[in-house]
Structure 1
Amino acid sequence: MERSKHLPDDVHPLLSDNPHTLVPFLEINLYLKTSTPDLTKFSSTSSPRMFATHMPLHTLQETLKDTPCNIVYLCRNPKDVLVSHWYFRCTNLEKSDITLESMFDFFCRGVSFYGPFWENVLSYWRGSLKDPKHVLFMRYEELKAEPRGQIKKLAEFLGCPFSEEEENSGSLDKILELCSLRNLSGLEINKTGKTLNNVHHYSYFRKGEVGDWKNHFSPEMENKISKIIEEKNLKVRV
């Protein structure tokens, strides 16, 4: 796979549309109304097709079996995931009166549209160990701590590593700036736009901090979820 030709900064798709529109969700944008969606409109001769999903790996494996598709899974500390999800829901549901405590209870019991969070993470972790050439397991915290190294790792996995010339010319830094929370959240399209299913673009950009859960969890909540993480053997993974 070759890296697509550089576009002028002022015409890059991310500057005029939301990432969740540019990369459609399989279960939301494609398979919600039909089991046989038309994928031909997503074909491209200049770059590979990209899709997003929240589904666990075992629901995709049979479909992707014997295909050259690559899967990139980005996980985050479940405590921060819960807080982020709560804010997202409160922002987009006009009459949402769900409390963080009630959502915490659902989360700990594994009640979710996509199944228990723990099983979702573990499915991709195991997949990355079994088939590292096609499944890359990444961590949000590492992406925040060392963005350059993680972006290079991603590029290598996708078969388009940065050349020495590209690194020296600042291409990697330009990508990091373009995709930064500060830049994307400040764009007009992400301040005022909405997705086709009426989700506010700005709700995808909050703090982006590691450890913000500490400002929301009680000691009892922290203790309970920490025990679950340990029981599920997630500690070394998230």
Structure 2
Amino acid sequence: MGSTGDEPIIMAGPVPFVDVVVDNAGGAVANKADPGVVLPQEEEYESFVSSLPSNPKLQLLRYQGKWLLQSWVPGIIAIQRGGFAPRRGGGDVVLASLPKCGTTWLKALAFATMARRAHPPAGDEQHPLLRLNPHDCVPSMEKLFAAGLGSKIMDALPSPRLMATHVHHSLLPASITDNPHCKIIYICRDPKDMIVSLWHFVRRRLPEIPFLELFESACEGRCLSSPIWDHILGYWNASKTRPETVLFLRYEELLHDPADSVRKLARFVGQPFSPEEEEASDVEDIVRLCSFEQMKNLEVNRAAGLSPALQQNAYTNGGPIWNHIVGYWNASKARPETVLFLRYEEMLQYPIDNFRKLARFVGQPFSPDEEEAGVVMDSWTSRGGAGDWTNHMTPEMARHYNIDEVPEVYVKSLAYHS
């Protein structure tokens, strides 16, 4: 059994959970089950699992009305049976989301924000996010507890502890959802974009699966983390009834103004930025540290996560795709008046600046009147996957998904109507 939550608190976190694992167990803890975690007996669990509705193709089980990865279920059961207890006064924070909704980015931003005193976002060459993947800094609760390691690692982490989950609000125990000592930060993404992103992810294992099949599964509430609207509205309603312990963020707003979301996050966890930190541009440094461009260029986030196709020579230095890029790069340096070289990542991070740059390049710079009227902002329609669903769904499909899944009043209140 894990801790009761009443032990004295030593405030030194958050720290990367893999560092604690290595320090406390010499790297071997991942191979040892935690005898203290309350997991179902093996035979009991096997019998229980065999009785659950399943989707073998997607490796899903229907547990308590929700479709979940089969590998998550034992961890969720352990958490529900008391395997995890928030610490009184410890400042525990749970990051919650549907899969493919900005989880990795939120992990990085939350960790960098909460750990900024121990690890300044600028000038620290040993910053955890420069040597570790965000998933190595913030653990998945269901995965840890499914492996029988949950309470061992959670008990070893100093406060405040930072962890993540993909499960529905209704599946979390009251020890988390009704606990004033535990806060939840939920990130929501337009479900239509989430389905498209999930389809791309599923295709890594099932390359032949058509988009329509996954879309129909989502509409019927049979895909990963379905019912999807139930997942979103569970946290949405919790944020309205308990705003002091549940913060609801939108992925699209995070893309549009990451600095504002970071400030909101910091205030919510009780670590607002001081005037001195604002003056020192700490917020901007955190946004920069956690940017797509920064994270994708780190070795720890590159080769290990690439599919075999992306590790072929065609994509590396000297390969044909690399040469394609370099050809235009060199041309932009030799003839900057006729070749403009843009980076997708910079478009994501600074869309307005890039719109201005493009307008100047084609000889149509925005006038002061257009700037004043907000023409530049109106030109921004989607970025970072926001609105990508329009490339895969017809308007009829989008309306069918929204209307069939949830009352339209909720869809409009979340600004995800088609």
Band of TM-score, shorter chain: 0.7 to 0.9
Aligned to 1:19: 134
Question: 1:212 pairs with 367, 377, 388, which one?
Answer: 388
CA contact (8 A) 2:138 2:162 kept: yes
1:60 aligns with 2:172: yes
Find the aligned partners of 1:55 and 1:134 in 2 and give their Cα distance.
Answer: 17
- Matched letter for residue 214 of structure 2: M
- Matched letter for residue 289 of structure 2: L
- Matched letter for residue 12 of structure 1: H
- Matched letter for residue 290 of structure 2: C
Question: 1:166 pairs with 251, 254, 277, which one?
Answer: 277
* Shift of residue 150, structure 1, vs aligned partner: 1.4
Q: Deviations over 1:141-168 (max 9, x none)?
A: 1111222211111100000001111111
SS where residue 203 of structure 2 aligns?
helix
Give the TM-score normalised by the residue count of structure 1: 0.84
Aligned to 2:243: 132
- Matched letter for residue 223 of structure 1: R
Find the aligned partners of 2:237 and 2:153 in 1 and give their Cα distance.
Answer: 29
Aligned to 1:143: 254
Question: Structure 1 pair 126/67, CA: closer, same or farther in 2 (3 Å)?
Answer: same
Question: Structure 1 pair 42/50, CA: closer, same or farther in 2 (3 Å)?
Answer: farther
* Shift of residue 66, structure 1, vs aligned partner: 3.2
Question: 1:84 pairs with 182, 185, 197, which one?
Answer: 197
Structure 2: state its 5+ residue gaps.
1-90, 92-113, 312-344, 349-382
Find the aligned partners of 1:36 and 1:21 in 2 and give their Cα distance.
Answer: 14
Aligned to 2:104: none
Q: Deviations over 1:5-33 (max 9, x none)?
A: 234432111111211222111112x1223
1:183 aligns with 2:359: no
Find the aligned partners of 1:35 and 1:43 in 2 and give their Cα distance.
Answer: 12
SS where residue 71 of structure 1 aligns?
strand
* Shift of residue 228, structure 1, vs aligned partner: 3.3
Q: Deviations over 1:50-77 (max 9, x none)?
A: 1111111122241323350110000000
* Shift of residue 115, structure 1, vs aligned partner: 3.2
Find the aligned partners of 2:147 and 2:229 in 1 and give their Cα distance.
Answer: 28
Question: Structure 1 pair 229/163, CA: closer, same or farther in 2 (3 Å)?
Answer: farther
**Structure possessing the higher radius of gyration over alpha carbons:** 2
Aligned to 2:412: 235
Find the aligned partners of 2:202 and 2:265 in 1 and give their Cα distance.
Answer: 30
- Matched letter for residue 52 of structure 1: A
Asked which structure has the greater RCO (Cα within 8 Å, sep 6+), the reply is 1
Choose 58-67 or 134-143, whichever is displaced more: 58-67
Question: Structure 1 pair 108/14, CA: closer, same or farther in 2 (3 Å)?
Answer: same
Q: Deviations over 1:194-230 (max 9, x none)?
A: 49xx9xxx9xx99723111112223442232243366
Choose 59-68 or 176-185, whichever is displaced more: 59-68
Question: Structure 1 pair 80/159, CA: closer, same or farther in 2 (3 Å)?
Answer: same
Find the aligned partners of 1:160 and 1:87 in 2 and give their Cα distance.
Answer: 36
Question: Structure 1 pair 24/109, CA: closer, same or farther in 2 (3 Å)?
Answer: same
Find the aligned partners of 2:223 and 2:402 in 1 and give their Cα distance.
Answer: 19
Find the aligned partners of 2:275 and 2:193 in 1 and give their Cα distance.
Answer: 36
- Matched letter for residue 140 of structure 1: Y
Find the aligned partners of 2:399 and 2:168 in 1 and give their Cα distance.
Answer: 26
Find the aligned partners of 1:85 and 1:99 in 2 and give their Cα distance.
Answer: 12
Q: Percent same amino acid at aligned positions?
A: 36
CA contact (8 A) 1:229 1:235 kept: no
* Shift of residue 40, structure 1, vs aligned partner: 4.3
Aligned to 2:338: none
Find the aligned partners of 1:182 and 1:117 in 2 and give their Cα distance.
Answer: 30
Aligned to 1:223: 399
Find the aligned partners of 1:19 and 1:36 in 2 and give their Cα distance.
Answer: 18
Question: 1:75 pairs with 188, 193, 206, which one?
Answer: 188
